[in-house]
Structure 1
Amino acid sequence: MQKVAVIGAGKMGAMHAKAYAAMPNAELVAICDPRLDAAEELARTNSTRSFERIEQALREVDPTVVDICTPTPTHIDYIKTAAAAGKHICCEKPLARSISQAMEAARLCEEAGVTLFVAHVLRWFPEYRRLRDLIAGGVIGETVEVRTTRCGKARPGVDHWFSNLQMSGGVVLDLMIHEFDWLRSCYGSVRRVYGKGLYNSHIPDIDYALVTLKFDSGVIAHVEGSWARPSGFVTSVEVAGTEGLLHFRNTESKALTIERKHKGGECSEDITPPNMAVVDPYNQELEHFIGCLDAGITPDVTPEDAIEAVRICEAALRSITTGEPVTLA
């Protein structure tokens, strides 16, 4: 039985706490937040204890796992504290605000002998899992190019920290990192990054970026992210291959389709996963993490995966700032 302390009583902390509270092989033993009233409210909802500081929870309830759901710039300090105490760690994406902090986090966990799992939840969304399986299975031949979008409205966060792009990294680190990690899981290493966007435009509560990735495999991906939608959340993926096209859009009734080339023309087929509307990907990723701890195996998202996702984000922001492409070593 893994004993879990969740740090952060905001939206993601509440989702993670609910998931752990429902697991048969986990016990939610603490909610920690400097805003003690928020910690107390979430703790009451989940019938557990509340703390203002993680150090208090470590002393009094001795968790085996610390789950970090706090603003990005705070991740590294919480990871230092948890790793030094010998606790396994789940950290919300992104792992850190900078590549140097991400590498330090991974090093500290390795030296402490604890598992570091970064919650890149897109890998557990059924439509994206189905897409990845179809790509790997070669149903559209070899991938040539990919286009993705992830668009919503800006979230305020505690003290409006999302609006401070130097803290949050804007849409690149908040939204587009989902696609960067998922695309790496499909196509491997990224060679070059080129981006355009509003990162340095200082427009209140609006950000936008369009980033092109060139993979070592030759695949080209165009990744779009936006905080400019007044309402609603739109995601889409289009994968063009030598033998056909995969298309997903979350607002369409036939959300996932495949178009295949034939000698007599083309045909389109609805291949939307039947369980798409009922699967909770947040529950599934955390069940995977706890299951890996119980089994003593490495989770599907490794520290190296999380580091590379931050590396791509950092390169994208540098490209947006300088106007030049960035080649990754």
Structure 2
Amino acid sequence: MGKVHARAYSKMPDVQLVGGFDSHSERLAAFSQEFGAEASPSMDSLLASVDVVDVCVPTHRHAEYALRAIEAGKAVVCEKPMARTVAECETICEAAARKGTTFMPAQVLRFFPEFKKAQEMVASGSVGNVATVRTRRGGDFPRAAADWYADFDKSGGAMLDLIIHDFDWIRWTFGPIQRVFARAITFDGYDHLDYALVMMKTKSGAIVHTEGIWCEPTGFRVAFEICGDRGMLEYDSGKSAPLITAVREEAGSIAGVSIPESPSNTDPYFDELRHFIDCVQSGASPDVSAQDGLEAVRISLAAIESVKTGRAVYL
């Protein structure tokens, strides 16, 4: 993810990629060579030379590096999940508020055009009162240095690392979550396989089903369905016309033709980081707040608790 972010910054004429720090020296050297950035020998050295820090380390170290940057007075964008625990997220929120620094959790799904368009349509009432939502996200089990995704204590599995994307978008689009109930194979002893089905109820009354998959070798695919009393939105990344709308006529009958929507084809990672940089420069608050990052982690951990206990968790 660090390279994805670096490529986005390299396209911004008003941003200079000064340097990077990585505890793995060979990886840092390759990064430095590819992007023409200084290979900082330590985090302190990096902090002394930059205005903005982008945290793209394994989840269990997010709080450590984000807090060091915040305490140094730097603006910080931190990859999702914001941190491994709610307590760590709360500490980050407190530190950013106390230091007055710009902080944004990188919940990039809000910047994907199909998901952004769907949120706008729900907010405008295009589908009416939303009754049910289904999301699906997944592919094969991720691999990384030291295989840290397979260490649940570090990654939190698919419920924290993967479908936190959906949890944040669902909360943004449909409002606060009231209840979480989940089933998963996370703790069943499978080797490099994970799957979770999370059922939620929003405070507005909508029923939400979220599916997270780390056991599908055929490729990464995401999808959603939103059903309301005025119509339906459907998205499937595997389809050539991915965002489909079907609206009801005033008499209550289904309109005969589904109309494909074609949101602008942009790079959501660039859009996300451009928004962050604009906020740093202007002093505006990012659209994704530290509190948003905390609440997404809270939902993920509630799903994990539900799997462990077999009971619903109320938020």
Question: What TM-score results when the alignment is normalised by the length of structure 1?
Answer: 0.92
State the partner residue of 1:238.
Answer: 225
State the partner residue of 2:78.
Answer: 91
State the partner residue of 2:240.
Answer: 253
> How far, CA to CA, are the matches of 1:125 and 1:268 in structure 2?
25
> How far, CA to CA, are the matches of 1:165 and 1:272 in structure 2?
39
**Equivalent of residue 137 in structure 1, options 124, 128, 134:** 124
CA contact (8 A) 1:35 1:52 kept: no
| 1:42-57 superposed matches below 5 A | 42-57=31-46
Three-state SS of the structure 1 residue aligned to 2:248 is strand
> What is the aligned-residue RMSD (CA, Å)?
1.2
Instruction: In structure 1, list runs of 5 or more residues that go unmatched.
Output: 1-11
Give, in angstroms, the shift of residue 281 of structure 1: 0.2
Q: 1:107/1:265 Cα in 2 relative to 1: closer, same or farther (>3 Å)? A: closer
State the partner residue of 2:168.
Answer: 181
State the partner residue of 2:295.
Answer: 308
Give, in angstroms, the shift of residue 268 of structure 1: 3.2
State the partner residue of 1:198.
Answer: 185
Letter in 2 for 1:133: E
State the partner residue of 1:7.
Answer: none
Instruction: In structure 2, list runs of 5 or more residues that go unmatched.
Output: none
Give, in angstroms, the shift of residue 255 of structure 1: 0.7
CA contact (8 A) 2:245 2:261 kept: no
State the partner residue of 1:8.
Answer: none
The answer to whether the aligner puts 1:26 opposite 2:15 as a matched pair is yes
| 1:292-307 superposed matches below 5 A | 292-307=279-294
CA contact (8 A) 1:257 1:268 kept: no
State the partner residue of 1:67.
Answer: 54
Three-state SS of the structure 1 residue aligned to 2:64 is helix
State the partner residue of 1:3.
Answer: none
State the partner residue of 1:271.
Answer: 260
Three-state SS of the structure 2 residue aligned to 1:27 is coil
> How far, CA to CA, are the matches of 1:147 and 1:48 in structure 2?
42
Give, in angstroms, the shift of residue 80 of structure 1: 2.0
The answer to whether the aligner puts 1:13 opposite 2:2 as a matched pair is yes
Letter in 1 for 2:286: P
Letter in 1 for 2:116: R
> How far, CA to CA, are the matches of 2:27 and 2:40 in structure 1?
10
> How far, CA to CA, are the matches of 1:196 and 1:65 in structure 2?
39
Q: Deviations over 1:216-271 (max 9, x none)?
A: 11111100001011131111000000011110000011211111223454323233
> How far, CA to CA, are the matches of 2:85 and 2:51 in structure 1?
27
> How far, CA to CA, are the matches of 1:249 and 1:206 in structure 2?
23
Off by >3 Å, runs of 4+ in structure 1 = 262-266
Q: Deviations over 1:181-227 (max 9, x none)?
A: 00111111111111000121121111000101111111111000010
Letter in 2 for 1:196: R
The number of aligned residues is: 313
CA contact (8 A) 1:92 1:120 kept: yes
> How far, CA to CA, are the matches of 2:165 and 2:257 in structure 1?
27
Give, in angstroms, the shift of residue 275 of structure 1: 2.3
| Percent of residue pairs identical | 36
| 1:110-149 superposed matches below 5 A | 110-149=97-136
> How far, CA to CA, are the matches of 2:2 and 2:189 in structure 1?
29
State the partner residue of 1:209.
Answer: 196
State the partner residue of 1:324.
Answer: 311
CA contact (8 A) 2:117 2:263 kept: no
The answer to whether the aligner puts 1:289 opposite 2:276 as a matched pair is yes
CA contact (8 A) 2:226 2:232 kept: yes
> How far, CA to CA, are the matches of 1:245 and 1:100 in structure 2?
38
